[in-house]
Chain A
Amino acid sequence: MITIESVTKTYGSFTAVDHVSFQARPGRVTGFLGPNGAGKSTTMRILVGLTPATSGTALISGRRFTDLPNPGREVGVLLDASAQHPGRTGREVLTVAQRFMGLPHRRVEEMLDLVSLTPQEASRRVRDYSLGMRQRLGIATALIGEPAVLILDEPANGLDPAGIRWMRGLLRDYADRGGTVLLSSHLLREIEVIADDLVLIGNGRIVAQGTKHELLQSAGALVRTSERELVARALTAAGITFSPVGVDGLLTHAEAEPLGKIVFAAGIPVIELRPADSVGLEEMFLELTAETQRQTTNHRQPAGAMS
């Protein structure tokens, strides 16, 4: 269980994290989603005591991280897979963690096995590792103490598609066994497959949070039609806001049922009409975090939206 309450971090006049509050519960994967520079990593560093918060509290199982007697046995942490001494071998990195935690030495080989690093790879120095191998090593370090809580910052970075699928399975299994997983990403698609709960952050503030189901429901509805102009007029008349998607789609803030009634009443033929789900969530996400976006795209064409 992770409980973050009104955590704020300021650097001079700049507020990196602004009264952030959320929970990550046992048995669930909580996705922490936000664009680059939104405050995800800072929040996570505060959570594990690497960065002092300006105000607010961050607790793990009711205690501050720095008060845990042997943190590695209770919380697995992976903040940056590249933050390793390049001259140490992969096996040695794990051995150092195993020794700090006071674990039996066999755990090192067990973990190497779990993350599919071969003995040859484990004997190579981290400097020669690909980012994907570093992520695997980082996940092994996080899991070696059999913690009940996992905190992972962008763990899918550098993993190939098979690696991402492997990690999803690993985290799903971990949460199903009662573990608490908090994982961050700047890619909605990467996280929505695995997350049960979502916390959206932009500009240092939480902009939305809830179960994935709730958030998807509130994401509006999508209609595809060859008569987009007519639908647009009908929606405007009904006072519903919308935005164009792809060549023939409109994403509305109304839910699917009232949207269907409006389009039916106007007698306009449609190709498709459905709850917007992830397309809507992505739209919502981009809207809510628009201030922190480094670039804005005028005409977005979400891949897969039309399939």
Chain B
Amino acid sequence: MTTLEAVDTASPGRSPLGSRPVHRAIPLRRIVTTELRKMFDTRAGFWLMASIGIMAALATSAVVLFAPNQEFTYSSFAAAIGIPTTIVLPLIAILSVTDEWSQRSGLTTFTLVPARGRVLMGKAIACLTTAAVSVPIAFGVGALGNLLGTAIAGVDPVWDLTVANLLTIGLAHVLALLFGFMLGVLIRKSPGAMVAYFVYTFVLPPLTMLLAGSRDWFRKLQPWVDYGYTQSQLYDGALTAQQWTHLAVTLVIWLVVPLAVGLVLVSRTEVK
């Protein structure tokens, strides 16, 4: 009888793939940080992020250079900065979602994290984090512009926005971002979602304004159905209780419901 010795058949330095350790579920925190990274790590993503700062600086410079002295108020600066951030933040949110389909990177993402709802939750939190950082920076750039502009003009700076004002304006930026996110989830293609956003933000409001001006029934209905109208009030100072109600109702119609539909579609459709 010969004794057979156990032979290690695996090549040196490489373990056999037999027994497997039990793996823990991927924590949401890791999905958020990875999704956040993915928003910056392409050239397009990087410049989109950078453009928030760049456009805030450009808008501020434009006010300093071209606005008459009496308009050197913090609210003019905040308004000037608001335009680029309400364009760029939603674009960032749209692309963070639609890239998975338009660039087909979802094939990898959704095989690494099959729970698509968790991926989207991670993306939403990553987008909100971006807003939480970039909105205060934009306000800061505006404040610097206000100091600089008034110093150049030799007038006293006017701080005509309260903290409450800044908060509601900040909320408007965040809602714009979430609106973009919703369109990304619902449409899942970059061009379509972007066009939808621009149509909704820039084409629709003048039309509803015309309609409200000419049709009495719509003027009464508008606060309950026109999200563009209700969210624009966030820029105009403190909201009344009724205005908050209007905002909440229109948010449900234009943001919550379509987002829910989008989430169902995302969880059911094929990723190709």
Contacts and interface: CB of A to CB of B under 8 A. Distances in A.
A binds B: yes
Interface stretch (A99-107, A156-164, A299-307): A99-107
A26 B111 CA distance: 21
A48 interface: yes
Given A84-B108, A102-B26, A174-B17, A45 B114 contact: no
Nearest to B122: A100
Contacts of B34: 96, 99-100
Nearest to B41: A92
B252 interface: no
A88 B104 CA distance: 13
A141 B104 CA distance: 15
A246 B209 CA distance: 79
B215 interface: no
Contacts of A147: 17
**Interface of B, helix, strand, loop or mixed by DSSP:** loop
Nearest to B34: A99
B50 to A, nearest CB: 14
A32 B178 CA distance: 44
Interface string B100-112: 0001111111111
Contacts of A45: 270-272
Interface in A59-116: 61, 65-66, 68-75, 77, 79-80, 82-89, 92-93, 95-97, 99-102
B43 A125 contact: yes
B247 interface: no
B24 A70 contact: yes
Contacts of B16: 177-178
B220 interface: no
A100 B37 CA distance: 11
Interface stretch (B6-14, B51-59, B60-68, B158-166): B6-14
Given A70-B23, A84-B103, A177-B14, A48 B111 contact: yes
B107 A50 contact: yes
Contacts of A102: 26, 30
Contacts of B240: none
Contacts of A83: 103-108
Contact of B42 (A49, A75, A79, A85): A85
A291 interface: no
A50 B43 contact: no
Contacts of B17: 26, 146-148, 174, 177-179
Contact of B37 (A51, A87, A99): A99
B114 A65 contact: yes
Contacts of B43: 87, 125
Interface string B16-58: 1110100111100011011001100111110000000000000
B71 interface: no
Nearest to B11: A173
B152 interface: no
Contacts of B270: 45, 50-52
B199 interface: no
B132 interface: no
Contacts of B41: 88-89, 92, 96
24 contacts: A45-B270, A48-B111, A49-B111, A49-B114, A50-B271, A69-B25, A71-B113, A72-B111, A74-B23, A77-B111, A83-B103, A83-B107, A83-B108, A84-B104, A85-B99, A85-B105, A100-B26, A100-B34, A100-B113, A141-B108, A176-B9, A177-B14, A177-B15, A178-B17
Given A50-B110, A177-B15, A177-B16, 9 more contacts: A45-B270, A69-B24, A71-B112, A77-B111, A83-B107, A96-B37, A177-B14, A178-B16, A179-B17
The list of the 3 closest CB pairs from A to B, nearest first, reads A87-B42, A83-B104, A69-B25
